[in-house]
């Protein structure tokens, strides 16, 4: 995990268009062993495209991929062992049992017969599907399918793992389990890219965050850096009864009314620091306002995300 | 690559086991279709058509009609329905689903046939059911021919018998005439002889009478003449006797002179020589001669018989010839009747089918065509399901991408899938042949093992075709319409459903480019024509060649699509 270590996976200025739509625009990234990089971005930002290019499934229009500093020899078994992809959409044989699915991909990804048997058993236990190992995949619940999807990608314990929203639809228990496993893989030296829409997951396990929007890498760095890039400040949300005069907090340095303004009985105030809470509450004294409740909120990744990518829905833009 | 192929084959096997619908498609569906087709279209190959009702209206009631009806009753596939009204038969035929054909035996048919004319049966046919009608007409034609052949044969026997009889009568008659003729001839001969004898006898009698009278006359005259002569002779004999006496006296005088002379000479002594010689006496007639004179004269004997020329035998008696009988052989004149050909009916030119291959049946078990035909059809469809569709499935499932991330070459994955399905195709065909053999008694040819040659060829080509279809289909949903259309077209054009000869020339030309055509050719050669396994080699090469083109095109296009 030491930054000095050479990147095991690198993307250098990759761009990719689907027809006239530019899906990736000059994106560069590097991944080192033992590191989990969170790949975040709104729908259609280009996360899956990035992962596909890294997994050599897609050829970038320009730019290069380096694995261990060398261009991947596409279609070599070495690559299969190096990479594990857990695709966003399921990639499983519906009629085959969980064990058969895992077994086939294990073998295809280069495991020998003996290793395959062992790894399959282990990975099914890890994702909690041992009991249902012989059931056909299409008899699984949505979450179980995703677990199996994950199992197939990680069964051969590759040094590079590309995970595209692996926890969508998975229950809390399994999600905890998965996150724990992923963290352990990384701790054991795997380099992992973890694409997700769940900011708290990223906050919990990622060492680094790559924020991508409209094909562009718009922010990159450790959590603190990205959160601060979002420029987020502590907020207080007030619920009250009565009339809150406009511009009442104008006199307080750094306090600003944001969002939800004009909504009856609600107000959100941004502050320079949480220490200004007292000042804000104090300022409401003597007014015809009854504060019923208030919430404090310190800036996090979601704030940064929203701040950096905006509020617009993606499909309205794209 | 080999690892990818091998792992893919294993996975395909697992997928297949989990897919009962495909297994059903592969085996059960073809058996159902083959059963239906075999029993429905069997008549195309001369096999027994369906059992059908044949309304027959017998207006003839003659022997021939009975013969035809009896023959029809013996037909397994025919149920006769005797009717009286031709109108009703017409109605039956025009009603759908009743019967495709009805038969009227017009009145007088038997008599007409017996009289050597050519009467015609009337068939009411349903033009919609032409194929069935053709097959039935063929059978009825055969029956009619059989019945008239029988009649003809009987007539021929009768003609021959009466001819023989006639010939014998003529022979007998001509023998009788001949004997009568010779009798007449001999009678004439006998009459002639008798006539001749009688004439001769009469002539002889006449001659005898004449000669007897002549003889008597002669004898009388002879006797008179003789008495005359005797009288004259006796007178002369008396004179002769006197002469004889004189001569005897002269003789004695001669001798007395001789003695005198001798004495004179002796007395004359020396002058004897001077005495002149006495005159010589004529030599006396010899005693015998004189004795002759003494003999009595015998009368010359006259033969009273007539000279030979007067005999009857010398006469040639010419008896005029009797009536002339014509010479020659009456039988010979009857020669034309003797040639047996002169008494035969002209023959009837027909045909008998002979298989081109000795020892084979002329009518083919329709299943010999339909088992391989529909087997190939379903093999193609199976490949569409098993390759084209599952390739799209794998795209949709995302497994294809995932496998590619594993570093397995796409070509290897494709070849693995193709190989697995190729094996499935071969097994499918082998099972179908086994079922066909067990259920429908299909012919497996000289060497059943040889059927594996076209089976392998078409399985390969069909698998490659599946890949082509996968590579040209735009979406999952277009695979089956496109794949089934191509499969059906190839099966139809390639002669899987009907004999290739049903197709127009241009289509047959097109068919040369279909692997199905070559495969069906090989199956037909091996199963129906009983050719040796080597006959399947060239079609195999052609099938594999076309399959190679499919495979190359499919691989190139599929892999390029993926980039
Ligand atoms: N196969 C494709 N053909 C055409 N356009 C595509 C294709 N795949 C992705 N795109 C487009 O490329 C852009 C990036 O898509 P991508 O799937 O990488 O987004 P994403 O970040 O993974 O989104 P999500 O969070 O919804 O999964 C989108 O605008 C999408 O419409
Ligand atoms: Mg995505």
Q: Which atom of ligand 1 is nearest to the CA of A314?
A: 29
| Chain B partners within 8 Å of A165 (Cβ) | none
Task: Tell me whether residues B397 and A56 touch, CB distance under 8 A.
Answer: no
Rounded to the nearest whole angstrom, what is the distance from the C-alpha of residue A197 to the centroid of ligand 2?
A: 10
Identify the CA nearest to A169 among candidates A151, A147, A152, A153.
Answer: A147
Q: How far is the CA of A44 from the centre of ligand 1 (A)?
A: 5
- B293 within some domain: yes
Tens-digit pLDDT profile for residues A186-219: 999 999 999 999 988 988 999 999 999 888 888 8
Contact B407 A109 (CB under 8 A): yes
A33 CA distance to ligand 2 middle (Å): 24
Report if residue B271 sits inside a domain.
yes
Is residue B112 assigned to a domain? Answer: no
| Number of CB pairs, chain A paired with chain B, less than 8 A apart | 76
Nearest chain A Cα distance for residue B393, angstroms: 9
Q: Domain check: are B256 and B307 in the same one?
A: yes
In a domain, B167, yes or no: no
* Ligand index nearest the alpha carbon of residue A42: 1
B331 shares its domain with B384: no
Contact A57 B7 (CB under 8 A): no
Structural domain of B446: 21-40+365-562
Q: How far is the CA of B558 from the centre of ligand 2 (A)?
A: 25
Please indicate whether, in this complex, the C-beta atoms of B399 and A80 are within 8 angstroms of each other.
no
The rounded percent of chain A whose pLDDT value lies above 70 is 93
- Using left for φ > 0, alpha for ψ between -120 and 50, and beta otherwise, residue B483 falls in alpha
pLDDT tens sequence across A289-310: 888 888 888 888 888 888 788 7
Query: What mean pLDDT do residues A130-152 have?
Result: 90
What's the pLDDT at B454?
94
Structure confidence at residue B552 (pLDDT): 95
For B393, nearest residue in chain A (alpha carbons): A93
Does B376 share its domain with B330? no
Quick one: B502 and B379 in the same domain?
A: yes
Determine the Cα–Cα distance for residues A10 and A174; give it in Å rounded to an integer. Answer: 31
Q: What is the pLDDT of residue A210?
A: 92
Is the separation of the CB atoms in B326 and B8 below 8 Å? no
Contact A109 B398 (CB under 8 A): no
Q: Is the pLDDT of residue B210 over 90?
A: no
- pLDDT above 90 covers what percent of chain B? 18
Question: Among A48, A73, A75, A81, which would you mutate to test the B interface (most chain B Cβ atoms within 10 Å of its Cβ)?
Answer: A75
For CATH 3.30.70, the residue range(s) in chain A are 233-298
Nearest CB partner across the interface for A85, out of B3, B18, B402: B402
Helix (H, G, I), strand (E, B) or coil at A41: coil
B205 belongs to a structural domain: yes
Residue of A11, A15, A20, A21 with the most ligand 1 atoms within 8 Å of its CB, for mutation: A21
The answer to whether residue A90 scores a pLDDT higher than 80 is yes
Nearest to B18 among A85, A91, A95 (CB): A95
Which whole-number Å values give the CA distances from A86 to A127, A181, B428, B460, in the listed order? 13, 14, 37, 35
Ligand 1 binding pocket, CB closer than 6 Å: A 18, 21, 23, 41, 43-49, 88, 318
Instruction: Give the residue from B337, B353, B386 where a domain finishes.
Output: B337
**Lowest model confidence (mean pLDDT) among A279-288, B315-324, B330-339, B445-454:** B330-339
Report if residue B389 sits inside a domain. yes
Within this chain, do residues B376 and B288 fall inside the same structural domain, yes or no? no
Contact A2, A9 (CB under 8 A): no
A-chain residues within 8 Å CB-CB of B410? 75
> Is B522's pLDDT higher than 60?
yes
Using the atom order of ligand 1, give the atom closest to the CA of residue A197: 25
Q: Which of A98-112, B12-26, B386-400, B439-453 has the lowest mean pLDDT?
A: B12-26
Nearest Cα of chain A lies from the Cα of B32 at a distance, in angstroms, of: 27
pLDDT by residue (tens digit) across A166-180? Answer: 988 888 888 888 898
Which pLDDT value is given to residue A98? 94
Nearest to B34 by CA among B271, B265, B377, B297: B377
The answer on pLDDT for B167 being more than 50 is: yes
Choose the closest CB to B406 out of A87, A100, A108: A108
Read off the pLDDT of each residue in A76-91 and give the average, rounded to a whole number.
Answer: 80
Least confident of A221-230, A243-252, B225-234, B351-360: B351-360
User: Do B405 and B310 share a structural domain?
Assistant: no
CATH topology of domain A9-229: Rossmann fold (3.40.50)
- State how far the alpha carbon of A175 is from the alpha carbons of A51, B250, B479, in Å: 21, 221, 39
Question: Which of A35-49, A195-209, B51-65, B547-561 has the weakest average pLDDT?
Answer: B51-65
DSSP collapsed to 3 states, B274-296: HCCCCCCCCCCCCHHHHHHHHCC
The answer to whether residue B552 is domain-embedded is yes
Residues B457 and B551 grouped into a single domain: yes
Mutation probe of ligand 1 site: the residue of A14, A16, A17, A47 with most atoms within 8 A of C-beta: A47
Q: How far is CA B146 from CA A7, B105, B133, B288, B361, in A?
A: 97, 16, 19, 125, 20
Please tell me which of the candidates A79, A87, A96 has its beta carbon nearest to residue B15: A96
Task: Give distance in angstroms: CA of A42 to centre of ligand 1.
Answer: 11
With bands split at pLDDT 50, 70 and 90, how would you rate the model's confidence at A2? very low
**Per-residue confidence (pLDDT) for residue B89, from 0 to 100:** 82
- As beta bridge partners, residue A129 has none
Is 80 exceeded by the pLDDT of residue B158?
A: yes
Q: Which of A65, A90, A95 to mutate to test the interface with B (most CBs of B within 10 A)?
A: A95
pLDDT one-digit tens code per residue, B314-344: 667 777 776 666 665 555 665 555 545 556 6
Q: What is the largest CA-CA distance in chain B?
A: 215
pLDDT of residue B486: 93
Supply B194's token pair: 């008798």
| A8 vs A250, more confident | A8
Chain A residue numbers with beta carbons less than 8 Å from the beta carbon of B401 are 57, 87, 91
pLDDT tens for B45-59 read 655 545 677 889 888
Q: Whose CA is nearest to atom 1 of ligand 1?
A: A18
Q: Answer yes or no: is pLDDT of A317 > 50.
A: no
Q: Cβ contact (<8 Å) for B402 and A91?
A: yes
> Is residue A31 within 8 Å of A10, Cβ to Cβ?
yes
Q: Which of B175-179, B182-186, B348-352, B543-547 has the lowest mean pLDDT?
A: B348-352
DSSP string spanning B134-172? Answer: HHHHHHHHHHHHHHHHHHHHHHHHHHHHHHHHHHHHHHH
Tell me what the mean pLDDT of segment A239-258 comes to: 78
Q: In the predicted model, what is the mean pLDDT of residues B174-183?
A: 87
Write out the residue limits of the CATH 3.40.50.300 domain(s) in chain A.
Answer: 9-229
In this complex, is the C-beta atom of B410 within 8 Å of any C-beta atom belonging to chain A?
A: yes
Mean pLDDT of B249-255: 86
Q: What is the mean pLDDT of chain B?
A: 82
**A16: CA distance to ligand 2 center in Å?**
15
For chain B, what's the residue count?
563
Of B7, B15, B398, the CB nearest to A108: B7
For residues A54 and A11, the answer to whether their CB atoms sit within 8 Å is yes
A8-12, B45-49, B127-131, B217-221: which is most confident: A8-12
User: Pairing relation of β-strands A62-67 and A36-40?
Assistant: unpaired
ipTM, 2 dp: 0.81
Could you give the CA distance from residue A140 to residue A177 in angstroms, rounded to a whole number?
18
B527 band by pLDDT with thresholds 50, 70 and 90: confident
Biggest alpha carbon–alpha carbon distance for chain A: 78
Sheet strand arrangement including A21-31: A21-31, A9-18, A62-67
Q: Number of folded domains in chain B? A: 2
DSSP state of A136: B
Q: Say what the pLDDT of residue B347 is.
A: 64
Q: How far apart are the first and last CA of chain A?
A: 37
For residue B119, pLDDT beyond 70: yes
Partners of A24 in beta bridges: A16
Angle at B390 between CA B388 and CA B395, to 5 degrees: 100
Residue B444 resides in a domain: yes
Distance from CA of A80 to the nearest CA of B (A): 4
Check if the beta carbon of residue B453 is closer than 8 Å to that of residue B523.
Answer: no
Q: Does B18 lie at the interface with A, CB-CB under 8 angstroms?
A: yes
Nearest to B563 among A59, A80, A93 (CB): A59
Give the architecture (CATH level 2) of A233-298: 2-Layer Sandwich (3.30)
Do B325 and B264 share a structural domain?
A: yes
Q: Whose CA is nearest to atom 25 of ligand 1?
A: A43
């Amino acid at each position: 995990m030491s930054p000095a270590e050479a990147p095991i996976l690198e993307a250098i200025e990759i761009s990719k268009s689907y027809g006239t739509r530019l899906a990736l625009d000059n994106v560069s990234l590097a991944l080192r062993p033992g590191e989990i990089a969170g790949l975040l971005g709104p729908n259609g930002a280009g996360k899956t495209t990035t992962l596909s290019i890294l997994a050599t499934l897609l050829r970038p229009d320009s730019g290069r991929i380096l694995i261990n500093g060398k261009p991947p020899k596409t279609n070599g078994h070495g690559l299969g062992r190096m990479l594990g992809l857990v695709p966003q959409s399921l990639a499983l044989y519906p009629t085959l049992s969980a064990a058969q699915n895992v077994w086939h991909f294990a073998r295809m990804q280069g495991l020998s017969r003996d290793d395959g048997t062992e790894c399959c058993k282990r990975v099914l236990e890890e994702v909690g599907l041992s009991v249902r190992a012989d059931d056909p995949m299409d008899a699984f619940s949505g979450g179980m399918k995703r677990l199996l999807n994950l199992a197939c990608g990680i069964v051969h314990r590759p040094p590079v793992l590309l995970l595209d929203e692996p926890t969508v639809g998975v229950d809390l228990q399994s999600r905890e389990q998965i996150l724990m496993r992923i963290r352990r893989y990384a701790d054991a030296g795997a380099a992992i890219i973890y694409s997700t829409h769940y900011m708290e997951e990223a906050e919990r396990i990622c060492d680094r965050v790559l924020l991508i929007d409209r094909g562009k890498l718009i922010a990159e760095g450790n959590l603190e850096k990205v959160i601060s890039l979002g420029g987020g400040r502590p907020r207080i949300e007030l619920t009250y009864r009565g009339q809150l005069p406009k511009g009442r907090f104008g006199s307080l340095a750094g306090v600003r009314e944001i969002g939800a303004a004009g909504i009856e009985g609600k107000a959100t105030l941004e502050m320079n620091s949480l220490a200004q809470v007292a000042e804000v509450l104090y300022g409401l004294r003597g007014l015809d306002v009854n504060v019923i409740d208030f919430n404090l909120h310190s800036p996090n990744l979601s704030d940064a995300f929203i701040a950096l990518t905006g509020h617009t829905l993606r499909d309205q833009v794209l | 690559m080999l690892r990818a192929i091998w792992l893919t084959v294993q996975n395909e096997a697992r997928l297949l086991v989990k897919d009962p619908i495909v297994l059903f498609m592969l085996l059960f569906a073809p058996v159902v279709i083959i059963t239906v087709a075999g029993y429905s279209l069997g008549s195309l190959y001369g096999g027994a058509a369906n059992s059908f009702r044949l309304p027959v209206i017998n207006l003839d009631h003659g022997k021939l009609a009975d013969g035809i009806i009896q023959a029809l009753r013996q037909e397994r596939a025919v149920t006769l329905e005797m009717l009286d009204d031709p109108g009703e038969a017409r109605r039956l035929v025009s009603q759908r689903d009743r019967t495709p054909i009805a038969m009227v035996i017009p009145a007088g048919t038997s008599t007409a046939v017996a009289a050597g004319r050519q009467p015609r049966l009337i068939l009411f046919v349903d033009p919609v059911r032409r194929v069935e009608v053709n097959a039935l007409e063929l059978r009825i034609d055969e029956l009619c021919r059989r019945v008239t052949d029988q009649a003809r044969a009987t007539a021929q026997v009768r003609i021959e018998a009466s001819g023989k009889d006639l010939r014998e009568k003529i022979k007998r008659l001509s023998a009788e005439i001949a004997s009568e003729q010779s009798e007449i001839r001999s009678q004439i001969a006998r009459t002639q002889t008798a006539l001749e004898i009688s004439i001769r006898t009469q002539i002889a009698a006449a001659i005898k009478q004449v000669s007897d009278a002549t003889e008597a006359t002669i004898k009388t005259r002879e006797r008179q003449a003789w008495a005359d002569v005797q009288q004259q002779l006796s007178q002369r004999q008396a004179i002769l006797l006197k002469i004889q006496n004189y001569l005897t006296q002269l003789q004695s005088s001669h001798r007395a002179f001789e003695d005198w002379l001798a004495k004179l000479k002796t007395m004359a002594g020396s002058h004897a020589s001077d005495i002149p010689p006495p005159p010589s006496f004529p030599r006396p007639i010899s005693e015998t001669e004189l004795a002759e004179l003494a003999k009595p004269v015998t009368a010359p004997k006259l033969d009273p018989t007539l000279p030979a020329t007067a005999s009857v035998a010398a006469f040639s008696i010419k008896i005029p010839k009797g009536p002339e009988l014509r010479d020659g052989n009456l039988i010979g004149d009857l020669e034309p009747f003797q040639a047996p050909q002169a008494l035969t009916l002209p023959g009837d030119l027909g045909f008998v089918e002979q298989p081109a291959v000795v020892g084979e049946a002329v009518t083919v078990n329709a299943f010999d065509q339909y088992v391989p035909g529909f087997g190939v059809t379903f093999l193609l469809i199976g490949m569409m399901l098993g390759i084209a569709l599952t390739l799209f499935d794998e795209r949709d499932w995302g497994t294809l991408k995932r496998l590619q991330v594993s570093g397995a070459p796409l070509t290897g994955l494709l070849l693995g899938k193709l190989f697995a399905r190729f094996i499935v195709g071969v097994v499918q065909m082998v099972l179908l042949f086994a079922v066909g053999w067990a259920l429908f008694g299909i012919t497996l040819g000289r060497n059943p093992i040889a059927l594996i040659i076209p089976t392998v060829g078409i399985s390969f080509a069909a698998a490659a075709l599946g890949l082509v279809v996968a590579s040209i289909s735009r979406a999952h949903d277009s695979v089956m319409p496109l794949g089934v259309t191509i499969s059906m077209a190839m099966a139809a054009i390639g002669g899987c459903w009907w004999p290739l000869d049903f197709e127009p020339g241009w289509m047959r030309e097109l068919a040369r480019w279909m692997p199905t055509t070559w495969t069906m050719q090989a199956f037909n050669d091996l199963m129906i024509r009983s050719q040796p396994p080597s006959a399947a080699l060239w079609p195999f090469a052609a099938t594999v060649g076309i399959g190679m083109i499919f495979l190359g095109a499919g691989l190139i296009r599929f892999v390029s699509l993926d980039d």
